[in-house]
Amino acid sequence: MRTYLIFIWHGIFLSLTMSMIDFNTVFPALVTDLGGSKVTFGLLFSVLLGAPYLLNFIFGHYISRHSFRRKFLLVGIYLRGLSFFGMAATTYFLAARAPGFVVMSFFLWTLLFSVSGGFAGISYTDIIGKLVTPGKRGKLYAAKQFASSIASFLGGVIVAGAFSTSRLPFPDNYSLVLGMGGAGLLIASVAFWFIREPPSPVAPEDRIPLRALLRRVPKILRENREFLRFVIVQNLTSFSLMVMPFYMVFAKERFAIPDSYIGRYLLFQITGAILSNLMWGLISSRRGPKAVVWTCVVLGGVIPLAAIGGAYLGPNAFALIFFLVGFVMSGRRVGFDPYTLEIIPEEERPVYLGIQGSLNVLSVVIPFLGGVLIHLFGYYPVFILTAVIMGIAFLLLTRGKPLPGTEH
C-alpha cells in the first residue's frame, strides 16, 4: 500500500503539471500564437519526442552500473522543473516583443525537458519493476492512471480558466500555467524521498564498456523476438503520436477558434482519459497489457480518419477527437510500460529499456517529417498515411504471442 501511495502521489501531481503544458493542446496553441510554422512546430516535437531516444542506450547502460536508481529519477525531475520555469520566464518577458526568439528558445527548453525525462523514465520504470510484482503492475498503473486523470481534469479546469478570463491576456496566461507546471513537478518529486528502494544486482555484463555492450545488441534482439517485434511496433506507433499535436493546429486553422477552445478541448481529452480507465484496467486484468497495446493501436488508426470527418462538423463536434486522444494516451500509460516489463529479463532491465528507447529512431524524425509533409501536402494525406501505418502495426502485433484466452 505504501508503494502504491507513493506512485499515485507522483502520478497525481505529474498529471496536474502536464496539463499545464499539454502537448496536444496548450503547447501547440502557444507555438502557433507565437507565429511558429508547421515545420518549426514539427521540429520542436522531434526534439521533444526524439531526443531522449538517442541517449536512452547510454542512460540505461550508465544506470545499470548502480545498485540504487532513485537519485537519477530525482535529478531528472528537477531538471524538468527547470525547463518549465525557463519556458514560463521566457514567454512572460519576451513573447510580446520577440516572439521568434521565444520560439527558438523553446528548442533549448524542450531539449532539457526531453532528455531529463528520458533519464528519469528509465529509472522510474526500473524502480516500479523492483517494487511491484508482475501480477500487480497492471492494477497499479490503472489505479495511478485513474487518480492521475482526475488530477488532469483539475488541471484542465485551471487551464480553461486561465484562457477564458480577460484578466490574463497573452502571454500572461501561458506564463502562469507553465510556472504552475514547474511547481507541480517539485511537489510530485516529494513522494520519491519516501521510497524504500532495494538494491539492484549489478551483473558483470553491466560493468563492461559501452562499446562492448553495443556489440551485444544484435544478439539480444535475435534472442528475444518478442522484444524486437515490440520495438518495431513502437516505432510505427510514433506516427500516431506525431499527428496528435497537429489536431489542435488543424482546428485553429480550420475553424479559426479563439484560445478559449484550448481549455475546452483539453477537458474533453482528460474526460476521455478518465472514462477509459475502467476499460483499460478491465482489459489489462483479464487479457494482459498486450491487449491494451492492441486496442491503443486500433484507436490510433481510427482517430486521424475521424479527424477528417470532424473537419466538416464544426469546432464543437471536433472536441470528440480530443476525447478519443484521451483514450489512447491513457491506454498507452496502462499498457506499454507493463508489457515492456513482461517481455524483458529482470536482471538486465535498465539495459533493455535503454536499447528499446534508442532503437525508437522514428520518434526522432517523424514529428519533423510530419510538419514538412503537412506543409507540402496538407493534413488529410498525412492523416490517411497515419491510419495505414497503424494498421500495419496492428498486423505485426498479431504475429507475437497470443493473448491470454486466445490460444488454440
- What string of pLDDT tens digits covers the 408 residues of the chain? 678 888 889 889 988 888 888 888 888 889 988 988 888 888 888 887 766 666 666 666 677 677 777 888 898 899 999 999 999 999 999 999 999 999 999 999 999 998 888 778 778 878 887 887 766 776 777 778 778 878 888 988 898 888 888 888 889 999 999 999 999 999 999 988 988 888 776 655 555 666 666 777 788 788 888 888 888 888 898 888 888 889 999 999 999 988 888 889 989 998 998 888 778 878 887 888 888 899 999 999 999 999 999 999 999 999 999 999 999 988 887 788 788 888 888 777 777 777 776 677 676 778 888 888 998 999 999 999 999 999 999 998 887 555 444 443
How far from 277 is each of 152, 158, 192, 335, CA to CA, in Å?
Answer: 13, 22, 24, 11
The span from the CA of 292 to the CA of 288, in Å, is 7
Give the residue among 243, 237, 244, 258 at the shortest CA–CA distance from 25. 244
Domains of the chain (ranges, CATH numbers): 2-192+224-397 (1.20.1250.20)
Residue reference for cell 518549465: 84
Please, what sign has the CA dihedral across residues 73, 78, 83, 87? positive
Helical ranges in 163-209 per DSSP H: 172-189
pTM as predicted: 0.74
Task: Give CA–CA dist 335/343, Å, rounded.
Answer: 13
- Of 381, 364, 372, 379, which Cα lies nearest the Cα of 50? 364
What pLDDT shows up at residue 60? 66
CB distance 352 to 345 below 8 Å: yes
**In this structure, how many other beta carbons lie within 10 angstroms of the beta carbon of residue 381?**
12
The contacts of residue 406 (CB under 8 Å, 6+ apart) are: none
Q: How far apart are CA 106 and CA 213, in angstroms?
A: 34
Residue 288: C-alpha distances to residues 129, 167, 261, 296, 386 (Å): 16, 48, 37, 13, 26
The full DSSP string for 322-347 is HHHHHHHHHHHHHHHHHHHHHHS-GG
Local structure of residue 400 (DSSP, 8 states): S
Instruction: Name residue, grid cell 529479463.
Output: 345
pLDDT digits (tens, 9 = 90+) for 132-175: 776 677 677 777 877 887 888 898 889 888 888 888 888 999 99
Query: Per the structure block, which three cell numbers stand in for 331?
Result: 491506454
Q: CA–CA separation, 203 vs 348, rounded Å?
A: 8
CA angle 366, 319, 48 (to 5 degrees): 25
C-alpha cell at 211: 562499446
Instruction: Compute the chain's Rg from CA coordinates.
Output: 20
Q: How does 158-173 read in b/e, with b if 16+ C-beta sit within 10 Å?
A: bbbebbeeeebebbeb
Nearest to residue 162, comparing CAs of 148, 150, 151, 172?
A: 172
Distance CA 82, CA 397 (A): 38
Interacting residues of 274 by C-beta distance below 8 A, sequence separation 6+: 146, 149, 150, 152, 153, 326, 330
Distance of CA 49 to the CA centre of its chain: 8
Question: Can you give the three-state secondary structure of 125-160, one letter per residue?
Answer: HHHHHHHCCHHHHHHHHHHHHHHHHHHHHHHHHHHH
Q: What is the pLDDT of residues 372-397, one digit of tens each?
A: 899 899 999 999 999 999 999 999 88
Contact between 372 and 71 under an 8 Å Cβ cutoff? The reply is no
Nearest of 211, 168, 184 to residue 58 by alpha carbon:
211
Grid cell for residue 217: 545488441
